Structure formats: C-alpha cells, structure tokens
C-alpha cells in the first residue's frame, strides 16, 4: 500500500488491524498537521468519527480520528494521547463541518476542551452540572443511587435461586414417582393378563 510508504517518509508506521482497518499512532504535537496532510495530500476526505477512550490508570485520553477516502473501501484510524487533566484538542470543524457536533459531544461526555469551537453547549444532556458522565472517575452507581433510589421490594419477593432449586427437586420427585407408578402398573398388568404375553411370544 502506497500510504504506508508515504507515512514512512514521515517516520510513521501503518499498522493493519483488520483487512479494511489500519491505524497510525502519532504524538499530539504533530496531530493537526498530519490530519491536514491526510485530507489534502492523501485524499482522505471523510471524517467518520472522533472517539475518546479514558485510560484512567495511565492518566491520559486516547483520541481516535477515523478517516475514509472517496472509495470508502478502508478506514484509517489516527490515534493520539492527551493529558487527562485540562484536556484540550484543536477543533476540526473548519475542515470537516461534521466535526462540530462530534466535538460537542466529546466535550459534554469527557470534558475535553476545544478552543475556538463555536457551539460548546449542551448536546444530549441538559443543565448537567456534575462531572462529565463518561469519565471513569465519575461514579455512576453512586450518582444513580443518590438521584434515583430503588423501589422498595415487595414483601412476597422470593429468592430466585432457592425457588428454582425447589422447583427442580419437586420436578425430579414427580418424575421418579411417575416412573415407579408406571413400572408398578406394568407389572400389575403383566400379572393380570398373562395371555397377551403368550400371544406375543407366539
């Protein structure tokens, strides 16, 4: 693939993930110029999505830009890492207009700042004043429990595991009983009309 050779000149490595999926890892400083050269020189005109992954343990966000050419036959992911604290990215909405809404969502969900972005307002949430909800240090369970307590349990609620056990045992016992009964019946019948058996033998 000639993209690999082109990238090699920039001392970057193209890694094939799947048969249509490639990835390039780059450091944050060169990100913007690389995106621009992807658009202008390599012909990757479509920005599919901008994704963010929270690597809490290592203390950074992994940002992924997915790009496609006009043929739409493969996707190249451009990955970079940024600091978690006071995270900020260059806005791409002037180049790809669809980036505006993607960045808006990322700002809302992860708290990443985009200097120069025109509409960093509410996207899906409304009046959200807590920590951005998709950051992993946001304790969802605690927040949910504080906002929406559980409904009180009904008194007649039973333990499902034990009930199932009881049911299974009862079933087994019934089966066993039926089997025994059938056997007894068969034996009784054999006693009562032995002529049948005789006939069958003949």
Give the separation between CA 62 and CA 18, rounded to whole angstroms. Answer: 20
Strand partners, 62: 53, 81
Name the one range near another protein by CB under 8 A: 57-65, 78-86, 93-101, 125-133: 125-133
Starting at the earlier edge strand, list the strands of the sheet with 21-25.
14-18, 21-25, 75-83, 60-68, 46-55
Strand partners, 64: 51, 79
- Closest distance to another protein from the beta carbon of 198 (Å): 58
Residues 55-114 that bind another protein (CB under 8 A): none
Name the one range near another protein by CB under 8 A: 22-30, 42-50, 148-156, 179-187: 148-156
Residues 27-66 that bind another protein (CB under 8 A): none
Closer residue to another protein in complex, CB, 157/188 = 157
Q: Which residue among 125, 164, 187, 190 contacts another protein (CB under 8 A)?
A: 125
Distance of CA 70 to the CA centre of its chain: 28
Q: Which residue among 85, 116, 149, 158 contacts another protein (CB under 8 A)?
A: 149
Closer residue to another protein in complex, CB, 127/198 = 127
- Closest distance to another protein from the beta carbon of 176 (Å): 36
Size of the chain in residues = 202
Strand partners, 23: 15, 77
**Interaction between residue 147 and another protein (CB under 8 A):** yes
Q: Which residue among 2, 41, 57, 126 contacts another protein (CB under 8 A)?
A: 126
Number of Cβ within 10 Å of residue 143's Cβ equals 13
**Interaction between residue 150 and another protein (CB under 8 A):** yes
- How many residues contact another protein, by CB under 8 A? 16
Q: Are 27 and 78 in contact (CB under 8 A)?
A: no
Number of Cβ within 10 Å of residue 1's Cβ equals 10
**Interaction between residue 141 and another protein (CB under 8 A):** yes
User: 3-state secondary structure string, 10-54?
Assistant: CCCCEEEEECCEEEEECCHHHHHHHHHHHHHCCCCCEEEEEEEEE
Closer residue to another protein in complex, CB, 20/143 = 143
Site residues for another protein per CB under 8 A: 124-127, 129, 133, 138, 140-141, 143-144, 147-151
């Amino acid at each position: 693939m000639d993209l690999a050779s082109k990238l090699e000149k920039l001392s970057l490595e193209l890694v094939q993930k799947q048969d249509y999926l490639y990835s390039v890892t780059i450091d944050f400083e060169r990100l913007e110029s690389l995106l621009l050269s992807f658009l202008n020189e390599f012909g990757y005109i479509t920005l599919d999505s901008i994704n963010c992954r929270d690597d809490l343990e290592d203390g950074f966000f992994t940002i992924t830009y997915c790009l496609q050419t006009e043929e739409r036959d493969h996707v190249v992911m451009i990955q970079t890492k940024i600091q978690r604290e006071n995270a900020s990215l260059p806005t791409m909405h002037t180049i790809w207009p669809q980036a505006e809404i993607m960045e808006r969502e990322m700002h809302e969900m992860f708290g990443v700042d985009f200097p120069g972005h025109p509409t960093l307002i509410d996207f899906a949430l409304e009046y959200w004043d807590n920590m951005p909800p998709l950051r992993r240090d946001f304790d969802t369970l605690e927040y949910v429990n504080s906002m929406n307590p559980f409904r009180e349990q009904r008194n007649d609620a039973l333990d499902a595991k034990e009930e199932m056990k009881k049911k299974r045992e009862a079933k087994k016992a019934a089966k066993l009983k039926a089997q025994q009964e059938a056997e007894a019946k068969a034996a009784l019948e054999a006693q009562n009309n032995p002529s049948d058996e005789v006939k069958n033998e003949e």
